Amino acid sequence: MSIANKRRETEVFSLAFLDCICCGFGAVILVFILTISQKQKIDQTDIDELRDRVHQMAARITTSEQDLDRLARVLAAAQLELQDVNAKNNQDELKLSERRRELLLMLQQTGAMKDALHTLLGEKKNLPTEDHAPIPIPNVDRRQYLTGVRLNGNFVVFVVRMSGSMLGETIDDAASRLGETDEKKRESPKWQRAIHSLEWMIASLGPETHFQILFFNEDVVPVLPDRADEWFSTTDKKTVAEIVKRLHQVVPSGGANLERAFASVRYLPRLPDSIVLFTDGLPTKSETLPYDGEVGEEQRIRFFELAVKQLPPRIPVSTIMFPMNGDPAGPAEYWMLANASRGAFVSPSKSWPDT
């Protein structure tokens, strides 16, 4: 083996190996440099994102602080309101205690008043009592004068004629009064006697009996027009006083349509148990049979028959008649009506009920 070959065998590195080492080292440096640049870009992005998050958190913190301030104000107001409520409750408790004391005092006074009332009621029982009729009866001694008039049941309707014939005892007398003033007409003796008779009948009713009054001439008018659907009682003194006042305001006039009056009874809110008719003769008008000529006795009897057909069945009809001269058939017809209906027929004297 030659010396050159020996030297060649002992060399560890060659030129090619060094070149490779340098190239690799350069590549490493290049990769490092490239990596550092990319790392800076990534870090800058993270920083920007963190800054945005910080700003958002700061905004949220500001909003939260504002909410906290608002809640603190609300809480302070609620505490003040609670203090007011507590103060008011304390005042209410004081008032309640005061009211309780007043109530106890009132209970004590009520007990004392009850004892006093019991004592007074006991004394009242020992006092003499006097029964006053709502309407004074003209002559108490003659209370039984019209006992023949039957007032069956608890509901009575008075049907009162207020035609012009009720002004006088004769046709001529009644005709002469038609030209007088209303005040003079109301003061005519015959009409006053009819009103007094009606008052007497009302005063004679028991407290359990209810009544209604219908006036009739050519039309039918309840005694209290705004209370036509009611039944009255003598125990209602205020209403009775109003009725009595109204009785003395009625002015007789016109003809007499008994048929319309009896038909009105059928349309009362409740059918009566008895009918009491105040009249002075047969009717002069008819609803079913109009008549324009001079009305004679034949026509008046026919008008009466038509009126009777309007009566509700099985109701007693009692007639209190103030006779009119020149009407001879009237008493007989009304008497037969009373007999057929199981009622009564009464013709009081001119002096009744005053004497």
Angstrom distance (rounded) from CA 77 to CA 169: 94
Angstrom distance (rounded) from CA 348 to CA 298: 26
Residue range 184-219, pLDDT digits in tens: 999 999 999 999 989 988 988 889 999 999 999 999
CATH number listed for the domain at residues 140-287+296-346: 3.40.50.410
3-state secondary structure of 340: helix
Angstrom distance (rounded) from CA 52 to CA 57: 9
**Contact indicator for 163, 256 with CB cutoff of 8 Å:** yes
250 φψ region: left (φ > 0), alpha (ψ -120 to 50), beta (else): beta
Angstrom distance (rounded) from CA 350 to CA 333: 21
Q: Is 245 exposed, middle or buried, given 0-12, 13-18 or 19+ CB atoms closer than 10 A?
A: exposed
Query: 112-150: string of b/e by CB count within 10 Å (b at 16+)?
Result: eeeeeeeeeeeeeeeeeeeeeebbebeeeeeeebbeebb
pLDDT tens-place values along the chain, 355 residues long: 555 554 555 555 566 777 788 888 888 887 777 777 666 666 677 788 888 888 888 888 888 888 888 888 899 888 888 888 888 888 888 888 888 888 788 877 887 777 777 777 777 666 555 444 555 544 444 444 454 576 778 999 999 999 999 999 888 888 999 999 999 999 999 999 999 989 988 988 889 999 999 999 999 999 999 999 999 999 999 999 999 999 999 999 999 999 999 999 999 989 999 999 999 999 999 989 887 778 888 999 999 999 999 999 999 999 999 878 878 888 999 999 999 999 999 887 776 655 5
For the chain, how many helices (H) and strands (E)? Answer: 9, 7
Residue range 90-125, pLDDT digits in tens: 888 888 888 888 878 887 788 777 777 777 777 766
Domain ranges of the chain: 24-125, 140-287+296-346
